[in-house]
């Protein structure tokens, strides 16, 4: 086998999750799956509907609702960058322990209709974030536009000048380019200073655009890309040095939103098996020659899964360990209650298991 049969690692931190409205049937179903994956810390996205999380009070109320489902998870909360946010709210957020502010280009993805058209009006807010050490989390895509020749395939690359401009204008601002999917994005993040990092999802380490377009449960934004882009992501993982860490962008949708009438909802649900998906993708990458077996060490995995994200967000190192074992689990065909049904990524396949130590 390309990799070892098991790895003893620090508890993982997933720095990009969608748990949906809480209280709510999806949150009730998926929140308890976080620790099943060997994860004890998550950065929670604020793009709820019908109203995103805009104020500190809303974020703290949301956190309390999630803690009712599983109090043993450390929920790092975020605000949605919205025209109503003020520098005073940013300072209040820092004091309250809010971890970041998420910026969505308007129209680029799920529940982004309240998002950013230009960052210019947010100068005072971004300056306050820079002063307070609050993280700016970027959904790094431009909205599709026939006029500007922007599609899902180049939307991320078209956004990268915005990333470099923000870094230049606010050099002390901590920035995360979320769920990067392209070789261009990897290069851009590496070219920035130490305050700019990126998350990589589990599914983008294995999917290609053909897979993405063929299966509704693979459909997500940003889209999967080319073999060269996937190779760049795998190489970024094994040579991260703190620049890249896990952010699954696990995005649960009821099966009716995936297979019902109208447009398919964007999102891949990976939460319960996140680490196993990454290890499987690494093995597949080794088989293709995208990465080398000797590059996948316990040190590399501990950094990507746990240590790098915690350090960037100034979260204490994991206290507990997990044992990840080859082939010890099978991905469920679906997770369901009498209210919702969610189909996970690679349903029915054998996957690495996780045991808390």
- SS3 label, residue 324: strand
Q: Using 50, 70 and 90 to split pLDDT, how confident is the model at 146?
A: confident
Read off the pLDDT of residues 152-176 as tens digits, 9 standing for 90 and up: 989 999 999 999 999 999 999 999 9
DSSP conformation class of 224? P
Q: Is the pLDDT of residue 1 over 70?
A: no
**336: Cα within 13 Å, side-chain hemisphere:** 11
- What letters, b where the CB count within 10 A reaches 16 and e where it falls short, cover 36-50? ebbbbbbbbbbbbee
What confidence score (pLDDT) does residue 164 get?
97
Report the Cα–Cα distance between both ends of the chain, in Å, rounded.
Answer: 25
What is the average per-residue pLDDT within 101-124? 83
Supply the DSSP string of 152-164, one letter for each residue.
TTTHHHHHHHHHH
What is the average per-residue pLDDT within 70-80? 98
Read off the pLDDT of residues 269-323 as tens digits, 9 standing for 90 and up: 999 999 999 999 999 999 999 999 999 999 999 999 999 999 999 999 999 999 9
Read off the pLDDT of residues 212-223 as tens digits, 9 standing for 90 and up: 999 999 999 999
Q: Is the pLDDT of residue 251 over 90?
A: yes
Q: Is the pLDDT of residue 112 over 70?
A: no
Q: Can you give the pTM of this predicted structure?
A: 0.96
CA–CA distances in Å: residue 169 to residues 41, 117, 166, 196, 293: 31, 18, 5, 13, 40
What is the average per-residue pLDDT within 194-221? 96
What is the average per-residue pLDDT within 127-146? 93
Q: Radius of gyration of the chain from Cα atoms?
A: 19
CA-based nearest residue to 99, from 44, 58, 139, 171 = 44
Q: With beta carbons less than 8 A apart as the criterion, state whether 52 and 77 touch.
A: no
The torsion angles phi and psi of 100, rounded to 5 degrees, stand at: -170, 175
């Amino acid at each position: 086998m390309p990799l070892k049969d098991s790895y003893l690692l620090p508890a993982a931190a997933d720095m990009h999750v969608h748990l949906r409205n809480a209280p709510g049937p999806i949150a009730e179903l998926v929140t308890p799956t976080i620790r099943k994956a060997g994860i004890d810390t998550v950065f929670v996205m604020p793009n709820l509907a019908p109203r995103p999380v805009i104020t500190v009070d809303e974020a703290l109320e949301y956190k309390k609702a999630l803690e009712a489902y599983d109090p043993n998870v450390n929920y790092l909360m975020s605000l949605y960058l919205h025209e109503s946010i003020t520098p005073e709210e940013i300072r209040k957020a820092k004091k309250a322990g809010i971890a970041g502010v998420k910026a969505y280009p308007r129209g680029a993805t799920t529940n982004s209709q309240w998002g950013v058209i230009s960052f210019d009006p947010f100068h005072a807010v971004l300056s306050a974030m820079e002063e307070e050490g609050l993280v700016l989390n970027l959904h790094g895509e431009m909205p599709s536009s026939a006029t500007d020749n922007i599609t899902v395939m180049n939307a991320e690359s078209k956004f990268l000048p915005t990333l470099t401009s923000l870094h230049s204008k606010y050099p002390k601002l901590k920035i995360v380019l979320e769920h990067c999917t392209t070789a261009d994005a990897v290069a851009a993040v590496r070219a920035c200073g130490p305050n700019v990092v990126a998350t990589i999802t589990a599914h983008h380490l294995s999917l290609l655009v053909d897979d993405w377009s063929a299966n509704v449960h693979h459909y997500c934004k940003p889209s999967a890309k080319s073999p060269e882009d996937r190779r760049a992501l795998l190489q970024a993982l094994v040579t991260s040095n703190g620049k890249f860490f896990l952010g699954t962008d696990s995005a649960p949708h009821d099966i009716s939103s995936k297979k019902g009438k109208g447009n398919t909802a964007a999102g891949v649900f990976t939460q319960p098996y996140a680490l196993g998906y990454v290890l499987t993708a690494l093995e597949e990458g080794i088989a293709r020659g995208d990465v080398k077996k000797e590059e996948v060490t316990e040190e590399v995995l501990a950094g990507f899964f746990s240590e790098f994200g915690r350090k960037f967000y100034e979260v204490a190192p994991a206290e507990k360990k997990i044992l990840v074992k080859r082939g010890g689990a099978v991905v469920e065909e679906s997770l369901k209650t009498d209210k919702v049904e969610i189909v996970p990524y690679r349903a029915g396949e054998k996957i690495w298991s996780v045991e808390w130590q």
